[in-house]
Amino acid sequence: MYRCIVIDDEPLALNVLAGFIRRTSELLLVDVTTNPVTGLQRVQAGEADLVFLDIQMPELSGIQFMQLAANHCKIILTTAYPEFAIDGYEYNALDYLLKPISFERFLKAIQKLPALSDKLPEQLDYIFVKSEYKLLRLEINEILYLESLRDYVAIYTADGNKILTLQSLASFEKELPAHLFCRIHKSYIIALNKINFIEKSKVVINNQYLPVGEFYKTDFWKRINYQQGRN
């Protein structure tokens, strides 16, 4: 098992990679931090085997980090700028992940780790949902959005169904692919590819206006603006 640290100055990137690591049985999440100096100290103390490292950070760049970390651990670089890939490989980076990072690409990267290539699970395109006295198989691509309703969570699907479950919204936030879904409010998780349009501080999916909460607004707009920049 590989002990992992995620270092990035963007909280959204930290959350995405932390979610991927938790979904991979051969990886153990040791720490997530926006402070590269703190991360370096843990690496030099022998507390990590693998670091997911952003290249551009204000206090200590990823390249400087790699120089100081030397051979203490394996490093997978993450960034939004592909032109930095060559610099990373000069310092023996295991792989280079371009943001936004999909779970499929994440798995391909960690397959390069010794002893992991034959042990990693395939990415599932469905989840099981506890509803009444049974487990329902639900295709991930069918989910429009999820809504917290006090003791229940309602899952709205593309075929017009509304599935009620006692599972918490937080549990779905961990289980659903982080590159496809985004929490926009304390009561809502949405499928990003199901958005019809955005109007002021509301997201419209299937003619339903869903509020974007103040706490979630910054991360949500980072996701949206980044996708626009790639198109």
- pLDDT in tens for each of the 231 residues of the chain? 889 999 998 888 888 999 899 888 788 888 999 999 999 999 998 889 999 999 888 778 888 888 888 788 999 998 887 665 555 455 578 888 888 888 889 999 998 888 765 544 555 688 899 888 888 999 999 999 999 998 899 999 999 999 999 999 988 887 887 778 889 999 999 999 999 999 988 999 999 999 999 988 887 887 776 555 444
Rounded to whole angstroms, the Cα distance separating 177 from 106 reads 12
Pairing relationship of beta strands 181-185 and 162-165 according to DSSP bridges: unpaired
Residue 137: predicted pLDDT: 92
In tens, the pLDDT along 200-227 reads 889 999 999 999 999 888 878 877 765 5
What is 126-230's CATH number, 3.40.50.1970, 3.40.47.10, 2.40.50.1020, 3.40.50.970?
2.40.50.1020
Pairing relationship of beta strands 74-79 and 126-131 according to DSSP bridges: unpaired
User: What does the domain layout of the chain look like in residue ranges?
Assistant: 2-110, 126-230
Residue 229: predicted pLDDT: 46
What is 2-110's CATH number, 1.10.1040.10, 3.40.50.150, 3.40.50.300, 3.40.50.2300?
3.40.50.2300
Residue 82: predicted pLDDT: 67
- Residue 98 amino acid letter: L
- CA-CA distances (angstroms) from residue 154 to 46, 145, 166, 167? 44, 8, 9, 10
Residue 100: cis peptide before it, omega within 30 degrees of 0: yes
Rounded to whole angstroms, the Cα distance separating 89 from 63 reads 10
Residue 75: predicted pLDDT: 92
The residue behind tokens 């979610």 is 19
